[in-house]
Amino acid sequence: MKRLRRTTNWLPIDPYIVLLLATVGIAALLPARGTAAHAASGASTAAIALLFFLYGVRLSTREALDGLKHWRLHVTVLACTFLIFPLLGIAAGGLVPVLLNQPLYQGLLFLTLVPSTIQSSIAFTSIARGNVPAAICAGSFSSLVGIILTPLLAAALLGSSGGGFSGHSLVTIVVQLLVPFAAGQVLRPWIGGFVARHKKVLGLVDRGSILLVVYTAFSEGMVRGIWHQVSPVRLGGLLVVEALLLAVMLALTWYGSRALGFSREDRIALQFAGSKKSLASGLPMASVLFGAHASLAVLPLMLFHQMQLMVCAVIAKRRARDPEARQEGAERAPATASRTAVGTATRSR
């Protein structure tokens, strides 16, 4: 275990991605069929509703709205997440069929429509000595907007290839995503404290629910035989495209925010919140929107998630060591020492 932790610290591989890949392997070897498939599908539907209910309970609308005081930064993050990312996704359509096939491209396009992350954006912003409160608000506001905007963008850009946007799919989105989320928001004043106190246990519920969603989606994909559409060459092409996508967004968020006049702390928060995509939100959304084709739709998101963690971990550590960060740390040190000396003198009196 210690050796695994040392390896994880050196090469930031998310252990949860390992669990997701193991779940995919189990689905490939032991896919649910017949009655078991119906049971897994029903459990997956309930799990998605539970996930979005808990998202609604946890997400502080007040904090997200309070963050609008720094509206320029949050508008920029939203533009990166729901405008620039989708435009790059649409442009990637020109790579079909050279690097991507149509199913993988649909998954890549869906990836560009997913909201930003919260936890990892905050963590990397903190490591890089950026504006942590701004990262909290940016991630929260992006998740709040994405609950509604991601399905609408998917309907507009994916159309029938994403399962369509018929009356039935609209009802499904409302019942499985919006109603549980709204219920969580309404009940937040009464059960928010309970959820916060049992954060670790409910976190396991979250992750277990997503594993169930992934198992159900990949099982259905195996039974339908859709995995013959993914060859090693296509998978390599997808990784290349995703690496380019991440590199472009990291560059745009960093140098673009400089051109817009943001401070260093705000640029760090903007880069990490504006260049990343949420696996926790995207996986259940894909299950609802894509149905039987969800397994191929979530593959690009799973790969991009791990890629962004590894790259952003390296960037965050470099940002923390750059001259500006050291200079700010040196400027804070005398002030901290002065406050400590005053406190000591006061106590000695």
**Residue 68: per-residue pLDDT:** 64
Cα 129 to Cα 240: distance, rounded to the nearest angstrom: 30
Mean pLDDT of 190-208: 88
* Residue 137: Cβ-neighbour burial (10 angstroms; 0-12, 13-18, 19+): buried
Residue 315 has pLDDT above 60, yes or no: yes
CA 71 to centroid of chain Cα atoms? 22
Please provide residue 320's backbone torsions phi and psi, each rounded to the nearest 5 degrees.
-70, -25
Q: Which CATH number is associated with domain 15-323?
A: 1.20.1530.20
Residue with tokens 């246990």, as numbered in its chain:
201
Mean pLDDT of 131-153: 87
The CA-based diameter of the chain, rounded to the nearest angstrom, is 79
Task: Share the mean pLDDT of the chain.
Answer: 82
* CA pair distance 182, 176, nearest whole angstrom: 11
Token digits of residue 206: 């979250």
Question: pLDDT at position 95, please?
Answer: 92
Identify the weakest region by mean pLDDT among 177-191, 288-302, 327-341: 327-341
Query: Greater confidence, 299 or 341?
Result: 299
**What residue ranges do the domains of the chain occupy?**
15-323
User: Measured between alpha carbons, how far is 99 from 60 in angstroms, rounded to an integer?
Assistant: 41
Alpha-carbon 236 to chain mean position = 22
Under the banding of pLDDT at 50, 70 and 90, the label for residue 151 is confident
pLDDT of residue 325: 57
In this prediction the pTM is 0.81
Alpha helices in 112-225 (DSSP H): 119-127, 132-158, 167-173, 179-197, 199-224
pLDDT, tens digit, 9 for 90 and up, residues 277-313: 998 888 888 888 887 677 788 889 989 998 998 899 8
pLDDT band (50, 70, 90) for residue 349: very low
C-alpha distance from residue 251 to each of 145, 226, 319 (Å):
24, 35, 14
Identify each DSSP E strand in the chain by its residue range: none
pLDDT tens readout for residues 36-89: 888 988 898 898 889 889 988 887 777 666 666 788 998 999 999 999 999 999
204 three-state secondary structure? helix
Q: Which residue has the tokens 């560059």?
A: 251
pLDDT at 116: 93
For residues 257 and 268, what is the distance between their CA atoms, to the nearest angstrom? 9
pLDDT (average), residues 152-178: 71
pLDDT band at residue 90, thresholds of 50, 70 and 90?
Answer: very high
Q: Count of H helices and E strands in the chain?
A: 17, 0
Are 40 and 215 in contact, with CB atoms under 8 Å apart? yes
Q: Residue holding tokens 């459990």?
A: 43
Higher pLDDT, 221 or 75: 75
Residues 6+ apart with CB under 8 A from 150: 113, 114, 115, 281, 285
CA-CA distance, 222 to 213, in Å (whole number)?
Answer: 14
235-248: average pLDDT: 95
Q: Is 166 left (phi over 0), alpha (psi -120 to 50) or beta?
A: beta
